Amino acid sequence: MTNTAKDWSIQEIARLSGTTSRTLRHYDDIGLLAPTRVGANGYRYYDAVALTRLQRILMLRELGLGLPAIADVLAGATDDADALAAHLRWLRQEKNRLDRQIRSVEITITNKKEGTPLMADEMFDGFDHTAYREEVVERWGIQSYAGGDRWWRSLSAEDKERFQSEQKAVKGDYASAFAAGADVDGDAVQAITRRHYLWITASWQGTAPTSEQFTGLGEMYVADDRFAANYGGTEGATFVRDAMAAFASRHLG
Protein backbone atom coordinates (compact mmCIF):
# COMPACT_ATOMS: atom_id res chain seq x y z
CA MET A 1 0.00 0.00 0.00
CA THR A 2 1.03 3.67 -0.41
CA ASN A 3 1.45 5.48 2.88
CA THR A 4 -0.28 8.73 1.91
CA ALA A 5 -1.89 8.88 5.36
CA LYS A 6 1.54 8.80 7.02
CA ASP A 7 0.94 5.54 8.81
CA TRP A 8 1.90 1.93 8.29
CA SER A 9 0.02 -1.33 8.64
CA ILE A 10 0.96 -3.83 11.33
CA GLN A 11 2.42 -6.13 8.68
CA GLU A 12 4.64 -3.38 7.33
CA ILE A 13 5.85 -2.43 10.80
CA ALA A 14 6.59 -6.05 11.65
CA ARG A 15 8.64 -6.43 8.48
CA LEU A 16 10.51 -3.14 8.87
CA SER A 17 11.33 -3.62 12.55
CA GLY A 18 12.22 -7.29 12.34
CA THR A 19 9.53 -8.29 14.82
CA THR A 20 6.18 -10.05 14.32
CA SER A 21 2.56 -9.01 14.11
CA ARG A 22 1.88 -11.26 17.09
CA THR A 23 4.47 -9.37 19.16
CA LEU A 24 2.98 -6.03 18.19
CA ARG A 25 -0.50 -7.22 19.16
CA HIS A 26 0.91 -8.39 22.50
CA TYR A 27 2.46 -4.96 23.08
CA ASP A 28 -1.00 -3.51 22.52
CA ASP A 29 -2.67 -6.00 24.86
CA ILE A 30 -0.33 -5.07 27.75
CA GLY A 31 -0.59 -1.33 27.09
CA LEU A 32 2.98 -0.91 25.89
CA LEU A 33 2.32 0.13 22.30
CA ALA A 34 -1.16 0.89 21.04
CA PRO A 35 -1.84 1.27 17.31
CA THR A 36 -2.55 4.81 16.17
CA ARG A 37 -5.82 3.67 14.63
CA VAL A 38 -7.71 0.54 13.72
CA GLY A 39 -9.24 0.42 10.25
CA ALA A 40 -12.75 -0.66 9.35
CA ASN A 41 -11.24 -3.97 8.29
CA GLY A 42 -9.79 -4.48 11.78
CA TYR A 43 -6.21 -3.84 10.65
CA ARG A 44 -3.96 -1.90 12.98
CA TYR A 45 -1.99 1.12 11.76
CA TYR A 46 0.94 3.01 13.31
CA ASP A 47 2.11 6.58 12.73
CA ALA A 48 5.57 8.14 13.18
CA VAL A 49 5.04 8.71 16.92
CA ALA A 50 4.19 5.04 17.42
CA LEU A 51 7.25 4.06 15.37
CA THR A 52 9.47 6.17 17.60
CA ARG A 53 8.01 4.48 20.67
CA LEU A 54 8.56 1.05 19.09
CA GLN A 55 12.17 1.97 18.33
CA ARG A 56 12.71 2.80 21.98
CA ILE A 57 11.04 -0.43 23.11
CA LEU A 58 13.29 -2.50 20.87
CA MET A 59 16.40 -0.66 22.05
CA LEU A 60 15.47 -1.24 25.68
CA ARG A 61 14.91 -4.91 24.90
CA GLU A 62 18.45 -4.99 23.49
CA LEU A 63 19.64 -3.65 26.84
CA GLY A 64 18.06 -6.69 28.48
CA LEU A 65 15.08 -4.98 30.13
CA GLY A 66 11.85 -6.92 30.59
CA LEU A 67 8.54 -5.56 29.35
CA PRO A 68 7.35 -4.31 32.79
CA ALA A 69 10.62 -2.41 33.25
CA ILE A 70 10.35 -0.97 29.75
CA ALA A 71 6.83 0.23 30.53
CA ASP A 72 8.16 1.98 33.65
CA VAL A 73 10.95 3.63 31.66
CA LEU A 74 8.60 4.88 28.98
CA ALA A 75 6.08 6.10 31.54
CA GLY A 76 8.74 8.19 33.26
CA ALA A 77 10.12 9.75 30.06
CA THR A 78 8.74 13.04 28.81
CA ASP A 79 11.05 13.82 25.90
CA ASP A 80 11.51 11.29 23.11
CA ALA A 81 14.48 13.19 21.66
CA ASP A 82 16.41 13.12 24.95
CA ALA A 83 15.63 9.45 25.46
CA LEU A 84 16.75 8.59 21.95
CA ALA A 85 19.94 10.61 22.45
CA ALA A 86 20.73 8.43 25.47
CA HIS A 87 20.09 5.33 23.40
CA LEU A 88 22.34 6.69 20.67
CA ARG A 89 25.19 7.12 23.14
CA TRP A 90 24.76 3.50 24.24
CA LEU A 91 24.72 2.30 20.62
CA ARG A 92 27.96 4.16 19.91
CA GLN A 93 29.55 2.57 22.97
CA GLU A 94 28.42 -0.83 21.71
CA LYS A 95 29.88 -0.06 18.28
CA ASN A 96 33.23 0.82 19.83
CA ARG A 97 33.16 -2.37 21.88
CA LEU A 98 32.36 -4.46 18.81
CA ASP A 99 35.12 -2.73 16.81
CA ARG A 100 37.57 -3.69 19.57
CA GLN A 101 36.28 -7.27 19.52
CA ILE A 102 36.81 -7.45 15.77
CA ARG A 103 40.33 -6.07 16.11
CA SER A 104 41.25 -8.49 18.88
CA VAL A 105 40.00 -11.48 16.88
CA GLU A 106 41.93 -10.25 13.83
CA ILE A 107 45.10 -10.07 15.94
CA THR A 108 44.52 -13.59 17.26
CA ILE A 109 44.04 -14.94 13.73
CA THR A 110 47.19 -13.17 12.51
CA ASN A 111 49.24 -14.44 15.44
CA LYS A 112 48.06 -18.01 14.90
CA LYS A 113 48.88 -17.87 11.19
CA GLU A 114 52.32 -16.39 11.84
CA GLY A 115 53.01 -18.72 14.76
CA THR A 116 53.71 -15.85 17.14
CA PRO A 117 52.71 -16.01 20.82
CA LEU A 118 49.30 -14.70 21.81
CA MET A 119 48.89 -11.98 24.41
CA ALA A 120 45.91 -12.11 26.73
CA ASP A 121 45.31 -8.36 26.63
CA GLU A 122 45.05 -8.56 22.83
CA MET A 123 42.77 -11.59 22.85
CA PHE A 124 40.34 -10.17 25.37
CA ASP A 125 40.28 -6.53 24.21
CA GLY A 126 36.68 -5.49 23.69
CA PHE A 127 35.23 -8.40 25.67
CA ASP A 128 33.74 -8.34 29.14
CA HIS A 129 36.76 -8.98 31.34
CA THR A 130 35.69 -7.63 34.72
CA ALA A 131 37.68 -10.33 36.45
CA TYR A 132 40.89 -9.03 34.88
CA ARG A 133 39.98 -5.50 35.89
CA GLU A 134 39.73 -6.62 39.50
CA GLU A 135 43.15 -8.28 39.27
CA VAL A 136 44.76 -5.11 37.95
CA VAL A 137 43.04 -2.93 40.53
CA GLU A 138 44.13 -5.25 43.33
CA ARG A 139 47.75 -5.25 42.19
CA TRP A 140 48.23 -1.65 41.06
CA GLY A 141 45.13 0.35 41.99
CA ILE A 142 42.10 1.73 40.19
CA GLN A 143 43.98 4.74 38.83
CA SER A 144 46.44 2.52 36.98
CA TYR A 145 43.61 0.52 35.43
CA ALA A 146 41.52 3.53 34.46
CA GLY A 147 44.49 5.49 33.19
CA GLY A 148 45.74 2.62 31.07
CA ASP A 149 42.30 2.05 29.60
CA ARG A 150 41.90 5.72 28.70
CA TRP A 151 45.39 5.84 27.23
CA TRP A 152 44.80 2.81 24.99
CA ARG A 153 41.49 4.17 23.71
CA SER A 154 43.16 7.50 22.92
CA LEU A 155 45.80 6.00 20.61
CA SER A 156 45.48 6.18 16.87
CA ALA A 157 45.35 2.95 14.88
CA GLU A 158 48.96 3.54 13.77
CA ASP A 159 50.17 4.11 17.33
CA LYS A 160 48.42 0.93 18.46
CA GLU A 161 50.07 -1.05 15.69
CA ARG A 162 53.52 0.33 16.59
CA PHE A 163 52.94 -0.46 20.24
CA GLN A 164 51.80 -4.00 19.47
CA SER A 165 54.69 -4.53 17.05
CA GLU A 166 57.19 -3.73 19.80
CA GLN A 167 55.34 -6.05 22.14
CA LYS A 168 55.63 -8.90 19.63
CA ALA A 169 59.29 -8.12 19.00
CA VAL A 170 60.10 -8.27 22.71
CA LYS A 171 58.28 -11.58 23.10
CA GLY A 172 60.01 -12.98 20.06
CA ASP A 173 63.45 -11.92 21.28
CA TYR A 174 62.79 -13.44 24.69
CA ALA A 175 61.83 -16.70 22.99
CA SER A 176 64.99 -16.70 20.88
CA ALA A 177 67.19 -15.98 23.89
CA PHE A 178 65.53 -18.75 25.90
CA ALA A 179 65.94 -21.24 23.05
CA ALA A 180 69.63 -20.30 22.79
CA GLY A 181 70.17 -20.90 26.50
CA ALA A 182 71.13 -17.30 27.18
CA ASP A 183 71.84 -16.15 30.73
CA VAL A 184 69.05 -14.01 32.20
CA ASP A 185 71.74 -11.84 33.81
CA GLY A 186 73.63 -11.43 30.56
CA ASP A 187 73.77 -8.17 28.66
CA ALA A 188 71.79 -9.51 25.67
CA VAL A 189 68.80 -10.66 27.75
CA GLN A 190 68.94 -7.58 29.94
CA ALA A 191 68.78 -5.40 26.82
CA ILE A 192 65.56 -7.18 25.85
CA THR A 193 64.25 -6.73 29.38
CA ARG A 194 65.00 -3.01 29.24
CA ARG A 195 62.86 -2.76 26.10
CA HIS A 196 60.17 -4.71 27.95
CA TYR A 197 60.39 -2.28 30.86
CA LEU A 198 60.11 0.72 28.53
CA TRP A 199 57.14 -0.89 26.77
CA ILE A 200 55.33 -1.31 30.10
CA THR A 201 56.23 2.26 31.06
CA ALA A 202 54.64 3.48 27.82
CA SER A 203 51.49 1.46 28.51
CA TRP A 204 51.32 3.06 31.96
CA GLN A 205 51.33 6.50 30.31
CA GLY A 206 54.95 7.21 31.18
CA THR A 207 54.75 6.00 34.78
CA ALA A 208 57.68 3.63 35.24
CA PRO A 209 56.94 0.47 37.23
CA THR A 210 58.66 0.18 40.57
CA SER A 211 60.87 -2.78 41.36
CA GLU A 212 57.99 -4.47 43.17
CA GLN A 213 55.55 -3.84 40.34
CA PHE A 214 57.93 -5.07 37.64
CA THR A 215 58.83 -8.25 39.51
CA GLY A 216 55.15 -8.74 40.35
CA LEU A 217 54.35 -8.74 36.66
CA GLY A 218 56.98 -11.40 36.12
CA GLU A 219 55.50 -13.54 38.86
CA MET A 220 52.08 -13.20 37.24
CA TYR A 221 53.48 -14.46 33.92
CA VAL A 222 54.40 -17.73 35.64
CA ALA A 223 51.46 -18.04 38.04
CA ASP A 224 48.73 -17.36 35.48
CA ASP A 225 48.44 -19.91 32.67
CA ARG A 226 46.84 -17.28 30.44
CA PHE A 227 50.07 -15.28 30.49
CA ALA A 228 52.50 -18.17 30.70
CA ALA A 229 51.15 -19.39 27.35
CA ASN A 230 52.29 -16.12 25.77
CA TYR A 231 55.90 -17.02 26.55
CA GLY A 232 55.86 -20.64 25.47
CA GLY A 233 54.60 -22.12 28.71
CA THR A 234 55.90 -22.25 32.25
CA GLU A 235 59.59 -22.62 31.34
CA GLY A 236 59.57 -19.68 28.95
CA ALA A 237 57.57 -17.55 31.39
CA THR A 238 60.00 -18.46 34.18
CA PHE A 239 62.89 -17.30 31.99
CA VAL A 240 61.15 -13.94 31.44
CA ARG A 241 60.29 -13.64 35.13
CA ASP A 242 63.89 -14.24 36.16
CA ALA A 243 65.14 -11.73 33.60
CA MET A 244 62.70 -9.15 34.96
CA ALA A 245 63.77 -9.87 38.55
CA ALA A 246 67.43 -9.47 37.55
CA PHE A 247 66.68 -6.18 35.83
CA ALA A 248 64.75 -4.90 38.83
CA SER A 249 67.56 -5.84 41.20
CA ARG A 250 70.20 -4.24 39.00
CA HIS A 251 68.42 -1.06 37.91
CA LEU A 252 65.35 -0.43 40.08
CA GLY A 253 66.74 -1.05 43.52
* Domain parsing of the chain, residue ranges: 7-77, 86-252
Question: For position 120, what pLDDT does the model report?
Answer: 43
Contact 147, 205 (CB under 8 A): yes
Tens digit of each residue's pLDDT (9 = 90 or more) over 207-232: 788 888 888 888 888 877 767 777 77
35 versus 5: the higher-pLDDT residue is 35
Is residue 253 over pLDDT 80?
Answer: no
Any idea which architecture 7-77 has in CATH?
Answer: Orthogonal Bundle (1.10)
Q: Give me the mean pLDDT over the 6-29 stretch.
A: 91
Q: Alpha carbon of 110 to those of 97, 113, 150, 157: distances in Å?
A: 20, 5, 25, 16
Q: Give me the mean pLDDT over the 141-145 stretch.
A: 56
Is residue 128 over pLDDT 50?
Answer: no
Contact 160, 106 (CB under 8 A): no
Contact 54, 48 (CB under 8 A): no
Tens digit of each residue's pLDDT (9 = 90 or more) over 72-124: 778 876 566 666 676 677 677 667 667 766 766 665 566 566 654 444 444 44
241 versus 3: the higher-pLDDT residue is 241
Q: How many percent of the chain have pLDDT more than 90?
A: 25
Query: How far is 57 from 52, CA to CA, in rounded Å?
Result: 9
Is residue 158 over pLDDT 90?
Answer: no
Question: For position 219, what pLDDT does the model report?
Answer: 87
Is residue 25 over pLDDT 90?
Answer: yes
Contacts of 116 (CB under 8 A, 6+ apart): 168, 171, 172
Residue at 48: amino acid letter: A
98 versus 186: the higher-pLDDT residue is 186
Q: How many percent of the chain have pLDDT more than 70?
A: 69
